[in-house]
Structure 1
Protein backbone atom coordinates (compact mmCIF):
# COMPACT_ATOMS: atom_id res chain seq x y z
CA UNK A 1 0.00 0.00 0.00
CA UNK A 2 1.28 3.45 -0.91
CA UNK A 3 -0.12 6.69 0.44
CA UNK A 4 -1.79 8.54 -2.48
CA UNK A 5 -0.10 11.84 -1.63
CA UNK A 6 3.31 10.17 -1.74
CA UNK A 7 2.39 8.29 -4.90
CA UNK A 8 1.58 11.60 -6.58
CA UNK A 9 4.84 13.13 -5.42
CA UNK A 10 6.86 10.17 -6.71
CA UNK A 11 5.08 10.32 -10.06
CA UNK A 12 5.86 14.02 -10.40
CA UNK A 13 9.52 13.46 -9.53
CA UNK A 14 9.81 10.64 -12.07
CA UNK A 15 8.22 12.81 -14.75
CA UNK A 16 10.73 15.56 -13.97
CA UNK A 17 13.58 13.15 -14.70
CA UNK A 18 14.63 12.24 -11.16
CA UNK A 19 16.73 9.07 -11.21
CA UNK A 20 19.34 7.81 -8.78
CA UNK A 21 22.82 7.30 -10.26
CA UNK A 22 23.44 3.91 -11.84
CA UNK A 23 25.84 2.57 -10.70
CA UNK A 24 25.81 4.14 -7.24
CA UNK A 25 28.74 6.46 -6.60
CA UNK A 26 29.32 8.68 -3.57
CA UNK A 27 30.01 11.96 -5.40
CA UNK A 28 27.01 11.55 -7.70
CA UNK A 29 24.73 10.61 -4.79
CA UNK A 30 25.81 13.73 -2.91
CA UNK A 31 25.21 15.97 -5.92
CA UNK A 32 21.70 14.60 -6.33
CA UNK A 33 20.53 14.12 -2.74
CA UNK A 34 22.25 16.77 -0.61
CA UNK A 35 20.08 19.63 -1.85
CA UNK A 36 17.26 20.59 0.54
CA UNK A 37 13.75 19.57 -0.46
CA UNK A 38 11.59 22.30 -1.99
CA UNK A 39 9.10 22.57 0.86
CA UNK A 40 7.28 25.19 2.95
CA UNK A 41 9.71 27.08 5.21
CA UNK A 42 9.78 26.47 8.95
CA UNK A 43 10.41 29.66 10.91
CA UNK A 44 12.47 29.40 14.08
CA UNK A 45 13.68 32.04 16.53
CA UNK A 46 17.43 31.40 16.25
CA UNK A 47 19.75 29.35 14.04
CA UNK A 48 23.53 29.54 14.27
CA UNK A 49 26.43 27.50 12.98
CA UNK A 50 29.05 26.41 15.48
CA UNK A 51 32.03 24.07 15.63
CA UNK A 52 32.50 21.40 18.25
CA UNK A 53 35.53 19.20 18.99
CA UNK A 54 35.62 15.73 17.53
CA UNK A 55 37.97 12.74 17.54
CA UNK A 56 39.56 13.84 14.24
CA UNK A 57 39.30 17.61 14.69
CA UNK A 58 36.57 20.20 14.67
CA UNK A 59 33.09 19.17 13.52
CA UNK A 60 30.50 21.51 12.04
CA UNK A 61 27.19 21.70 13.86
CA UNK A 62 24.11 23.90 13.82
CA UNK A 63 22.12 25.02 16.86
CA UNK A 64 18.39 25.76 16.61
CA UNK A 65 16.41 27.51 19.32
CA UNK A 66 12.63 28.02 19.16
CA UNK A 67 12.66 30.63 21.93
CA UNK A 68 14.54 32.12 24.83
CA UNK A 69 15.52 30.59 28.15
CA UNK A 70 17.34 27.40 29.08
CA UNK A 71 15.67 24.75 26.94
CA UNK A 72 16.06 20.98 26.84
CA UNK A 73 18.31 19.75 24.03
CA UNK A 74 17.79 17.28 21.20
CA UNK A 75 20.88 16.10 19.29
CA UNK A 76 20.13 15.27 15.65
CA UNK A 77 22.17 12.99 13.40
CA UNK A 78 21.18 13.28 9.75
CA UNK A 79 20.47 10.38 7.45
CA UNK A 80 22.03 9.60 4.09
CA UNK A 81 23.46 6.11 4.35
CA UNK A 82 26.56 7.47 6.12
CA UNK A 83 27.58 8.65 2.61
CA UNK A 84 25.58 11.80 1.95
CA UNK A 85 23.44 14.18 3.98
CA UNK A 86 24.43 17.57 5.38
CA UNK A 87 23.34 20.19 7.87
CA UNK A 88 21.50 21.86 4.99
CA UNK A 89 19.70 18.73 3.77
CA UNK A 90 18.25 18.27 7.26
CA UNK A 91 17.83 21.92 8.18
CA UNK A 92 14.07 21.82 7.78
CA UNK A 93 13.67 18.64 9.85
CA UNK A 94 15.80 20.16 12.61
CA UNK A 95 13.60 23.25 12.58
CA UNK A 96 10.43 21.18 12.73
CA UNK A 97 11.67 19.17 15.70
CA UNK A 98 12.81 22.29 17.56
CA UNK A 99 9.50 24.05 16.93
CA UNK A 100 7.19 21.17 17.75
CA UNK A 101 9.13 19.69 20.69
CA UNK A 102 9.91 23.16 22.14
CA UNK A 103 13.56 22.16 22.46
CA UNK A 104 16.89 23.37 21.24
CA UNK A 105 18.28 21.11 18.51
CA UNK A 106 21.96 20.51 17.81
CA UNK A 107 22.43 19.05 14.33
CA UNK A 108 25.82 17.37 13.91
CA UNK A 109 27.83 17.10 10.67
CA UNK A 110 29.71 13.85 11.33
CA UNK A 111 32.36 12.33 9.02
CA UNK A 112 31.06 10.47 5.97
CA UNK A 113 32.01 7.27 4.15
CA UNK A 114 33.67 6.00 2.05
CA UNK A 115 36.37 8.56 2.87
CA UNK A 116 35.84 7.88 6.58
CA UNK A 117 34.63 4.36 7.26
CA UNK A 118 33.32 2.82 10.49
CA UNK A 119 33.83 3.69 13.30
CA UNK A 120 34.36 7.34 12.26
CA UNK A 121 30.67 8.32 12.24
CA UNK A 122 29.78 6.67 15.54
CA UNK A 123 32.94 8.01 17.19
CA UNK A 124 31.90 11.51 16.09
CA UNK A 125 28.32 10.96 17.29
CA UNK A 126 29.37 9.82 20.76
CA UNK A 127 31.84 12.69 21.06
CA UNK A 128 29.15 15.18 20.05
CA UNK A 129 26.67 13.85 22.62
CA UNK A 130 29.22 13.93 25.41
CA UNK A 131 30.45 17.38 24.44
CA UNK A 132 26.93 18.82 24.27
CA UNK A 133 26.03 17.39 27.67
CA UNK A 134 29.23 18.77 29.19
CA UNK A 135 28.92 22.20 27.55
CA UNK A 136 25.25 22.85 28.18
CA UNK A 137 25.92 26.28 29.67
CA UNK A 138 27.71 27.45 26.52
CA UNK A 139 24.78 26.20 24.42
CA UNK A 140 22.21 27.75 26.75
CA UNK A 141 20.48 24.43 27.33
CA UNK A 142 19.47 22.35 30.34
CA UNK A 143 22.20 19.74 31.00
CA UNK A 144 19.79 17.50 32.88
CA UNK A 145 17.42 17.02 29.95
CA UNK A 146 18.60 15.92 26.52
CA UNK A 147 17.55 13.38 23.90
CA UNK A 148 18.96 12.03 20.66
CA UNK A 149 17.30 11.54 17.30
CA UNK A 150 18.10 10.67 13.72
CA UNK A 151 16.63 9.34 10.52
CA UNK A 152 17.90 6.30 8.61
CA UNK A 153 21.70 6.18 9.09
CA UNK A 154 21.26 8.99 11.61
CA UNK A 155 18.82 6.74 13.45
CA UNK A 156 21.53 4.09 13.44
CA UNK A 157 23.94 6.53 15.10
CA UNK A 158 21.32 7.64 17.63
CA UNK A 159 20.54 4.03 18.57
CA UNK A 160 24.24 3.19 18.90
CA UNK A 161 24.93 6.29 21.01
CA UNK A 162 22.05 5.35 23.32
CA UNK A 163 23.53 1.87 23.76
CA UNK A 164 27.08 3.13 24.36
CA UNK A 165 25.93 5.66 26.98
CA UNK A 166 23.27 3.46 28.62
CA UNK A 167 23.48 3.70 32.39
CA UNK A 168 26.08 6.50 32.34
CA UNK A 169 25.62 9.91 33.92
CA UNK A 170 25.53 11.49 30.45
CA UNK A 171 23.00 9.03 28.98
CA UNK A 172 20.13 10.57 26.99
CA UNK A 173 16.62 10.67 28.40
CA UNK A 174 15.03 9.48 25.15
CA UNK A 175 15.87 8.22 21.67
CA UNK A 176 13.66 9.05 18.70
CA UNK A 177 14.50 6.86 15.71
CA UNK A 178 12.98 7.49 12.29
CA UNK A 179 13.22 4.33 10.08
CA UNK A 180 16.64 3.51 11.55
CA UNK A 181 19.31 1.30 9.99
CA UNK A 182 19.93 -1.34 12.66
CA UNK A 183 21.18 -4.64 11.25
CA UNK A 184 24.08 -4.96 8.82
CA UNK A 185 23.12 -8.51 7.91
CA UNK A 186 20.34 -7.09 5.68
CA UNK A 187 18.49 -10.39 6.09
CA UNK A 188 15.03 -9.42 7.33
CA UNK A 189 11.97 -10.33 5.28
CA UNK A 190 11.44 -6.73 4.13
CA UNK A 191 14.85 -6.85 2.41
CA UNK A 192 13.47 -9.50 0.06
CA UNK A 193 10.75 -7.18 -1.28
CA UNK A 194 11.18 -4.46 -3.90
CA UNK A 195 8.84 -1.73 -2.72
CA UNK A 196 8.16 1.70 -4.23
CA UNK A 197 10.22 4.51 -2.80
CA UNK A 198 13.71 5.96 -2.81
CA UNK A 199 15.58 3.21 -0.95
CA UNK A 200 16.00 -0.23 -2.49
CA UNK A 201 17.58 -3.30 -0.86
CA UNK A 202 20.55 -3.08 -3.24
CA UNK A 203 21.04 0.59 -2.42
CA UNK A 204 21.03 -0.11 1.31
CA UNK A 205 23.58 -2.90 0.85
CA UNK A 206 25.76 -0.48 -1.12
CA UNK A 207 25.61 2.00 1.77
CA UNK A 208 26.76 -0.71 4.15
CA UNK A 209 29.67 -1.53 1.83
CA UNK A 210 30.78 2.12 1.92
CA UNK A 211 30.50 2.51 5.69
CA UNK A 212 31.22 -0.86 7.30
CA UNK A 213 32.33 -3.45 4.73
CA UNK A 214 32.76 -7.11 5.58
CA UNK A 215 32.65 -8.17 9.20
CA UNK A 216 32.77 -4.55 10.42
CA UNK A 217 29.01 -4.34 9.96
CA UNK A 218 28.56 -7.02 12.62
CA UNK A 219 30.15 -4.81 15.29
CA UNK A 220 27.50 -3.75 17.81
CA UNK A 221 28.40 -0.09 17.26
CA UNK A 222 27.55 -0.50 13.57
CA UNK A 223 24.56 -2.82 14.01
CA UNK A 224 22.71 -1.89 17.22
CA UNK A 225 20.24 -4.72 16.66
CA UNK A 226 23.04 -7.21 17.33
CA UNK A 227 23.88 -5.79 20.76
CA UNK A 228 22.42 -7.15 24.02
CA UNK A 229 19.76 -4.74 25.26
CA UNK A 230 20.46 -3.21 28.66
CA UNK A 231 17.47 -2.46 30.87
CA UNK A 232 19.03 0.97 31.46
CA UNK A 233 18.75 1.87 27.76
CA UNK A 234 16.96 5.16 27.10
CA UNK A 235 13.24 4.84 26.36
CA UNK A 236 12.60 4.85 22.62
CA UNK A 237 10.12 6.04 20.05
CA UNK A 238 10.63 4.22 16.75
CA UNK A 239 8.93 5.21 13.50
CA UNK A 240 8.94 2.70 10.64
CA UNK A 241 7.15 2.63 7.32
CA UNK A 242 5.79 -0.11 5.11
CA UNK A 243 7.50 0.58 1.79
CA UNK A 244 11.02 0.31 3.15
CA UNK A 245 13.58 -2.51 3.28
CA UNK A 246 14.37 -1.38 6.84
CA UNK A 247 10.80 -1.91 8.09
CA UNK A 248 11.22 -5.32 9.69
CA UNK A 249 14.48 -4.61 11.50
CA UNK A 250 12.88 -1.54 13.09
CA UNK A 251 9.93 -3.63 14.28
CA UNK A 252 12.24 -6.36 15.57
CA UNK A 253 14.33 -3.81 17.48
CA UNK A 254 11.23 -2.37 19.13
CA UNK A 255 10.23 -5.88 20.20
CA UNK A 256 13.72 -6.56 21.59
CA UNK A 257 13.66 -3.36 23.63
CA UNK A 258 10.21 -4.18 24.98
CA UNK A 259 11.31 -7.70 25.94
CA UNK A 260 14.25 -6.22 27.88
CA UNK A 261 11.94 -3.91 29.83
CA UNK A 262 12.85 -0.72 27.95
CA UNK A 263 9.83 1.56 27.41
CA UNK A 264 9.24 1.77 23.66
CA UNK A 265 6.58 3.16 21.35
CA UNK A 266 6.42 1.87 17.77
CA UNK A 267 4.61 3.82 15.06
CA UNK A 268 4.18 1.98 11.75
CA UNK A 269 3.17 4.27 8.89
CA UNK A 270 2.07 1.62 6.43
CA UNK A 271 1.68 3.89 3.40
CA UNK A 272 4.95 5.79 3.72
CA UNK A 273 8.32 5.39 2.08
CA UNK A 274 11.83 5.68 3.48
CA UNK A 275 12.51 9.33 4.29
CA UNK A 276 8.85 10.33 4.37
CA UNK A 277 8.98 12.30 7.64
CA UNK A 278 10.93 15.05 5.86
CA UNK A 279 7.73 15.67 3.85
CA UNK A 280 5.95 17.14 6.89
CA UNK A 281 3.91 20.18 6.01
CA UNK A 282 3.08 18.57 2.66
CA UNK A 283 1.96 14.99 3.40
CA UNK A 284 -0.52 14.20 6.22
CA UNK A 285 1.12 10.93 7.29
CA UNK A 286 4.43 12.78 7.63
CA UNK A 287 2.74 15.37 9.84
CA UNK A 288 1.35 12.55 11.98
CA UNK A 289 4.72 10.82 12.36
CA UNK A 290 6.54 14.03 13.25
CA UNK A 291 3.81 14.89 15.77
CA UNK A 292 4.18 11.48 17.44
CA UNK A 293 7.93 11.87 17.65
CA UNK A 294 7.97 15.41 18.96
CA UNK A 295 5.21 14.64 21.48
CA UNK A 296 7.44 11.89 22.86
CA UNK A 297 10.32 14.34 23.12
CA UNK A 298 8.15 16.89 24.92
CA UNK A 299 7.01 14.28 27.41
CA UNK A 300 10.54 13.02 28.03
CA UNK A 301 12.19 16.43 28.30
CA UNK A 302 9.50 18.74 29.65
CA UNK A 303 7.31 16.33 31.56
Structure 2
Protein backbone atom coordinates (compact mmCIF):
# COMPACT_ATOMS: atom_id res chain seq x y z
CA UNK A 1 0.00 0.00 0.00
CA UNK A 2 1.16 3.62 -0.43
CA UNK A 3 2.25 5.72 2.52
CA UNK A 4 -0.68 6.79 4.67
CA UNK A 5 -2.25 9.97 3.23
CA UNK A 6 -2.04 11.84 6.54
CA UNK A 7 1.69 11.13 6.71
CA UNK A 8 2.04 12.14 3.07
CA UNK A 9 0.44 15.51 3.87
CA UNK A 10 3.01 16.21 6.57
CA UNK A 11 5.93 15.00 4.46
CA UNK A 12 4.90 17.35 1.67
CA UNK A 13 5.45 20.33 3.99
CA UNK A 14 9.00 19.39 5.03
CA UNK A 15 11.88 21.34 3.45
CA UNK A 16 14.34 19.35 1.36
CA UNK A 17 17.66 18.63 3.12
CA UNK A 18 20.20 21.30 2.15
CA UNK A 19 23.31 19.45 3.29
CA UNK A 20 24.22 22.01 5.93
CA UNK A 21 25.83 20.74 9.16
CA UNK A 22 23.48 19.78 11.96
CA UNK A 23 23.31 22.08 14.97
CA UNK A 24 22.25 19.91 17.95
CA UNK A 25 20.87 22.83 19.94
CA UNK A 26 18.81 24.14 17.04
CA UNK A 27 17.35 20.73 16.25
CA UNK A 28 16.56 20.14 19.91
CA UNK A 29 14.81 23.49 20.13
CA UNK A 30 12.68 22.53 17.14
CA UNK A 31 11.66 19.33 18.89
CA UNK A 32 10.77 21.10 22.11
CA UNK A 33 8.55 23.49 20.18
CA UNK A 34 6.44 20.52 19.06
CA UNK A 35 5.70 19.22 22.58
CA UNK A 36 1.94 19.37 23.12
CA UNK A 37 0.58 21.25 26.15
CA UNK A 38 -0.11 19.17 29.24
CA UNK A 39 -3.87 19.44 28.86
CA UNK A 40 -3.66 17.73 25.47
CA UNK A 41 -1.84 14.66 26.76
CA UNK A 42 -3.31 11.34 27.85
CA UNK A 43 -4.40 11.64 31.52
CA UNK A 44 -3.13 9.01 33.95
CA UNK A 45 -3.55 8.24 37.62
CA UNK A 46 -0.13 9.73 38.45
CA UNK A 47 2.94 11.13 36.69
CA UNK A 48 6.00 11.87 38.81
CA UNK A 49 9.48 13.18 38.05
CA UNK A 50 12.21 11.56 40.12
CA UNK A 51 15.95 10.97 40.27
CA UNK A 52 17.14 7.38 40.09
CA UNK A 53 20.24 6.89 42.20
CA UNK A 54 22.08 4.29 40.13
CA UNK A 55 25.57 2.91 39.76
CA UNK A 56 25.80 5.18 36.69
CA UNK A 57 25.01 8.20 38.86
CA UNK A 58 21.77 10.10 39.37
CA UNK A 59 19.57 9.68 36.29
CA UNK A 60 16.38 11.72 35.75
CA UNK A 61 13.30 9.54 35.26
CA UNK A 62 9.59 10.12 34.85
CA UNK A 63 7.29 7.52 36.39
CA UNK A 64 3.83 6.93 34.92
CA UNK A 65 1.19 5.10 36.96
CA UNK A 66 -1.78 4.17 34.75
CA UNK A 67 -4.33 3.44 37.48
CA UNK A 68 -4.57 2.68 41.18
CA UNK A 69 -3.55 -0.91 41.88
CA UNK A 70 -1.76 -3.03 44.45
CA UNK A 71 1.05 -4.03 42.07
CA UNK A 72 2.20 -3.44 38.52
CA UNK A 73 4.40 -4.82 35.84
CA UNK A 74 7.19 -2.32 35.15
CA UNK A 75 8.22 -1.09 31.71
CA UNK A 76 11.44 0.92 31.40
CA UNK A 77 11.30 3.10 28.28
CA UNK A 78 14.17 4.65 26.30
CA UNK A 79 13.24 7.47 23.92
CA UNK A 80 14.53 7.84 20.39
CA UNK A 81 16.37 10.72 18.77
CA UNK A 82 19.58 9.49 17.08
CA UNK A 83 21.31 9.51 20.48
CA UNK A 84 21.47 13.34 20.57
CA UNK A 85 17.80 14.30 20.50
CA UNK A 86 14.75 13.54 22.58
CA UNK A 87 13.92 14.00 26.24
CA UNK A 88 11.42 13.10 28.91
CA UNK A 89 9.21 15.87 27.51
CA UNK A 90 9.44 15.17 23.78
CA UNK A 91 8.41 11.55 24.31
CA UNK A 92 6.05 12.11 27.22
CA UNK A 93 3.03 11.28 25.06
CA UNK A 94 4.61 7.97 24.03
CA UNK A 95 5.23 6.94 27.63
CA UNK A 96 1.69 7.92 28.61
CA UNK A 97 0.17 5.81 25.85
CA UNK A 98 2.39 2.87 26.78
CA UNK A 99 1.21 3.08 30.38
CA UNK A 100 -2.45 3.41 29.38
CA UNK A 101 -2.47 0.49 26.96
CA UNK A 102 -0.25 -1.91 28.90
CA UNK A 103 -1.39 -1.26 32.47
CA UNK A 104 2.30 -1.29 33.41
CA UNK A 105 4.03 1.35 35.48
CA UNK A 106 6.29 3.05 32.92
CA UNK A 107 9.67 4.55 33.81
CA UNK A 108 10.96 6.87 31.10
CA UNK A 109 14.71 7.47 31.25
CA UNK A 110 16.32 10.89 30.78
CA UNK A 111 19.67 9.44 29.78
CA UNK A 112 22.73 11.48 28.84
CA UNK A 113 23.00 12.52 25.19
CA UNK A 114 25.77 12.83 22.63
CA UNK A 115 27.81 14.83 21.84
CA UNK A 116 28.01 16.29 25.35
CA UNK A 117 28.42 12.82 26.90
CA UNK A 118 30.71 10.23 25.35
CA UNK A 119 29.76 6.64 24.68
CA UNK A 120 28.68 4.62 26.62
CA UNK A 121 27.18 7.19 29.01
CA UNK A 122 23.61 7.07 27.66
CA UNK A 123 23.60 3.29 27.37
CA UNK A 124 24.98 2.93 30.90
CA UNK A 125 22.23 5.21 32.21
CA UNK A 126 19.57 3.06 30.56
CA UNK A 127 20.94 -0.21 31.88
CA UNK A 128 21.50 1.23 35.34
CA UNK A 129 17.90 2.44 35.58
CA UNK A 130 16.67 -1.06 34.73
CA UNK A 131 18.77 -2.46 37.57
CA UNK A 132 17.56 0.36 39.84
CA UNK A 133 13.93 -0.43 39.01
CA UNK A 134 14.42 -4.03 40.03
CA UNK A 135 16.22 -3.01 43.23
CA UNK A 136 13.51 -0.47 44.09
CA UNK A 137 10.66 -2.80 43.16
CA UNK A 138 8.89 -2.52 46.50
CA UNK A 139 8.70 1.25 46.46
CA UNK A 140 7.58 1.24 42.82
CA UNK A 141 4.81 -1.26 43.41
CA UNK A 142 6.45 -3.76 41.08
CA UNK A 143 4.75 -7.14 41.01
CA UNK A 144 8.18 -8.81 41.08
CA UNK A 145 7.41 -10.74 37.91
CA UNK A 146 7.09 -8.60 34.80
CA UNK A 147 9.96 -6.27 33.94
CA UNK A 148 9.97 -5.05 30.35
CA UNK A 149 12.17 -2.68 28.38
CA UNK A 150 11.15 -0.71 25.31
CA UNK A 151 12.58 1.89 22.98
CA UNK A 152 11.87 3.60 19.69
CA UNK A 153 14.50 4.15 16.98
CA UNK A 154 17.82 4.76 18.79
CA UNK A 155 15.97 3.96 22.00
CA UNK A 156 15.36 0.57 20.39
CA UNK A 157 19.12 0.28 19.94
CA UNK A 158 19.50 0.82 23.67
CA UNK A 159 16.74 -1.66 24.51
CA UNK A 160 18.35 -4.41 22.44
CA UNK A 161 21.78 -3.63 23.87
CA UNK A 162 20.48 -3.52 27.46
CA UNK A 163 18.80 -6.91 27.01
CA UNK A 164 22.14 -8.37 25.90
CA UNK A 165 24.13 -6.66 28.65
CA UNK A 166 21.74 -7.97 31.28
CA UNK A 167 22.01 -11.50 29.90
CA UNK A 168 25.80 -11.33 29.94
CA UNK A 169 25.76 -10.06 33.53
CA UNK A 170 23.48 -12.88 34.65
CA UNK A 171 20.70 -10.39 35.42
CA UNK A 172 17.68 -12.43 34.40
CA UNK A 173 14.82 -10.23 35.58
CA UNK A 174 13.99 -8.69 32.19
CA UNK A 175 11.01 -10.57 30.79
CA UNK A 176 10.19 -8.66 27.58
CA UNK A 177 11.80 -6.30 25.08
CA UNK A 178 9.84 -4.10 22.67
CA UNK A 179 11.70 -2.47 19.81
CA UNK A 180 9.86 0.16 17.79
CA UNK A 181 11.53 0.57 14.35
CA UNK A 182 14.94 0.05 15.97
CA UNK A 183 18.30 1.19 14.63
CA UNK A 184 20.29 -2.01 15.02
CA UNK A 185 23.18 -1.62 12.57
CA UNK A 186 25.11 1.64 12.56
CA UNK A 187 27.14 0.49 9.57
CA UNK A 188 25.20 2.48 7.00
CA UNK A 189 26.48 0.76 3.87
CA UNK A 190 23.45 1.19 1.59
CA UNK A 191 23.93 -2.27 0.11
CA UNK A 192 23.50 -4.06 3.45
CA UNK A 193 19.68 -3.90 3.44
CA UNK A 194 17.27 -3.47 0.56
CA UNK A 195 15.15 -0.98 2.53
CA UNK A 196 18.10 1.42 2.72
CA UNK A 197 17.74 1.82 -1.04
CA UNK A 198 14.01 1.21 -1.49
CA UNK A 199 13.05 3.73 1.21
CA UNK A 200 16.00 6.04 0.69
CA UNK A 201 14.13 9.25 -0.05
CA UNK A 202 10.80 10.92 0.50
CA UNK A 203 9.66 9.24 3.72
CA UNK A 204 10.98 11.56 6.43
CA UNK A 205 14.06 9.70 7.60
CA UNK A 206 16.32 9.43 4.57
CA UNK A 207 19.20 7.03 4.06
CA UNK A 208 21.58 9.89 3.24
CA UNK A 209 20.77 11.43 6.62
CA UNK A 210 21.67 8.41 8.70
CA UNK A 211 25.39 9.12 8.88
CA UNK A 212 25.15 12.83 9.79
CA UNK A 213 22.37 12.25 12.33
CA UNK A 214 24.28 9.47 14.04
CA UNK A 215 27.68 11.15 13.72
CA UNK A 216 27.41 12.80 17.15
CA UNK A 217 27.11 9.36 18.75
CA UNK A 218 29.76 7.65 16.63
CA UNK A 219 32.19 10.54 17.07
CA UNK A 220 31.70 10.29 20.85
CA UNK A 221 33.31 6.84 20.78
CA UNK A 222 30.51 4.51 19.65
CA UNK A 223 32.08 1.94 17.31
CA UNK A 224 29.55 0.54 14.79
CA UNK A 225 31.33 -2.82 15.00
CA UNK A 226 30.58 -3.07 18.74
CA UNK A 227 27.41 -5.10 19.43
CA UNK A 228 26.49 -2.59 22.12
CA UNK A 229 26.28 -0.01 19.32
CA UNK A 230 24.98 -2.31 16.55
CA UNK A 231 23.10 -5.08 18.38
CA UNK A 232 22.57 -7.05 15.17
CA UNK A 233 26.31 -7.77 15.18
CA UNK A 234 25.98 -9.87 18.33
CA UNK A 235 26.73 -13.43 17.27
CA UNK A 236 24.72 -15.33 19.88
CA UNK A 237 21.18 -14.08 20.52
CA UNK A 238 20.06 -17.11 22.50
CA UNK A 239 18.71 -16.61 25.99
CA UNK A 240 17.48 -13.05 25.40
CA UNK A 241 14.03 -11.94 26.60
CA UNK A 242 10.98 -12.50 24.44
CA UNK A 243 10.68 -9.75 21.88
CA UNK A 244 8.24 -7.68 19.89
CA UNK A 245 9.86 -5.89 16.96
CA UNK A 246 7.63 -3.30 15.30
CA UNK A 247 8.72 -1.99 11.92
CA UNK A 248 7.39 0.52 9.38
CA UNK A 249 6.83 -0.26 5.71
CA UNK A 250 8.46 2.95 4.47
CA UNK A 251 11.47 3.05 6.80
CA UNK A 252 15.09 2.72 5.63
CA UNK A 253 15.73 0.77 8.86
CA UNK A 254 12.89 -1.71 8.24
CA UNK A 255 14.95 -4.63 7.02
CA UNK A 256 17.54 -4.64 9.80
CA UNK A 257 14.74 -4.71 12.38
CA UNK A 258 13.01 -7.59 10.63
CA UNK A 259 16.28 -9.49 10.20
CA UNK A 260 17.01 -9.05 13.91
CA UNK A 261 13.59 -10.42 14.77
CA UNK A 262 14.20 -13.44 12.55
CA UNK A 263 17.63 -13.99 14.08
CA UNK A 264 16.05 -13.93 17.54
CA UNK A 265 13.58 -16.60 16.42
CA UNK A 266 16.38 -18.67 14.91
CA UNK A 267 18.20 -18.45 18.27
CA UNK A 268 15.18 -19.87 20.07
CA UNK A 269 13.83 -16.60 21.43
CA UNK A 270 10.06 -16.11 21.48
CA UNK A 271 9.94 -13.19 19.05
CA UNK A 272 7.31 -11.51 16.89
CA UNK A 273 7.90 -9.08 14.04
CA UNK A 274 5.01 -6.77 13.22
CA UNK A 275 5.24 -4.50 10.16
CA UNK A 276 2.90 -1.49 10.00
CA UNK A 277 1.74 -0.91 6.44
CA UNK A 278 1.71 2.68 5.20
CA UNK A 279 3.89 3.86 8.10
CA UNK A 280 7.25 5.62 8.12
CA UNK A 281 10.07 5.80 10.62
CA UNK A 282 8.98 7.58 13.79
CA UNK A 283 5.28 6.83 13.42
CA UNK A 284 4.84 5.87 17.07
CA UNK A 285 6.11 9.27 18.15
CA UNK A 286 4.75 11.39 15.31
CA UNK A 287 1.58 9.75 14.03
CA UNK A 288 0.05 7.74 16.85
CA UNK A 289 -3.00 10.03 16.60
CA UNK A 290 -3.89 7.99 13.52
CA UNK A 291 -5.90 4.98 14.78
CA UNK A 292 -4.05 2.46 12.61
CA UNK A 293 -0.77 3.51 14.17
CA UNK A 294 -2.00 3.92 17.73
CA UNK A 295 -2.56 0.20 17.36
CA UNK A 296 1.18 -0.23 18.11
CA UNK A 297 0.52 0.66 21.75
CA UNK A 298 -2.41 -1.75 21.92
CA UNK A 299 -0.29 -4.49 20.37
CA UNK A 300 2.39 -3.82 22.96
CA UNK A 301 -0.20 -4.25 25.71
CA UNK A 302 -1.36 -7.53 24.23
CA UNK A 303 2.24 -8.74 23.98
CA UNK A 304 3.04 -7.85 27.58
CA UNK A 305 -0.16 -9.24 29.06
CA UNK A 306 -0.33 -12.45 27.10
CA UNK A 307 -0.35 -15.38 29.51
2:35 & 2:286 partners in 1: Cα distance? 8
How do 1:62-211 and structure 2 match up within 5 A? 62-68=62-68, 69-166=70-167, 168-187=170-189, 188-193=193-198, 194-211=200-217
Moved over 6 A (4+): 17-21
Which range is displaced more, 26-35 or 175-184? 26-35
Which stretch has the larger CA shift, 41-50 or 117-126?
A: 117-126
Unaligned runs of 5+ in 2: none
TM-score computed with the length of structure 1 as normaliser: 0.91
Note the alpha carbon deviations across 1:164-218, whole angstroms, 9 max, x for none.
Answer: 1127344310001000010111232222342323312232212332112477121
Q: Does 1:29 align with 2:27?
A: yes
> Does the CA-based 8 Å contact 2:56-2:128 persist in structure 1?
no
Deviates more, 1:209-218 or 1:238-247: 209-218
Q: CA deviation at 1:137?
A: 1.1
**TM-score relative to the length of structure 2:** 0.90
Superposition RMSD in Å:
2.2
Name the SS of the counterpart of 2:296 in structure 1: helix
Change (3 A) 1:74 1:162: same
What secondary structure, in the 3-state scheme, does the structure 1 residue paired with 2:130 have?
A: helix
- Count of aligned pairs between the two proteins: 297
Describe the shift of the 1:215–1:148 C-alpha distance in structure 2 as closer, same or farther (beyond 3 A).
Answer: closer
Q: Cα 1:35–1:71, aligned 2, differ >3 Å: closer, same or farther?
A: farther
The structure-2 alpha-carbon separation of the partners of 1:97 and 1:240, relative to structure 1 and needing over 3 Å to count, comes to same
In structure 1, the residue matched to 2:255 is: 248
8 Å Cα contact 1:241-1:271 kept in structure 2? yes
Measure the CA separation in 1 of the matches of 2:253 and 2:9.
23
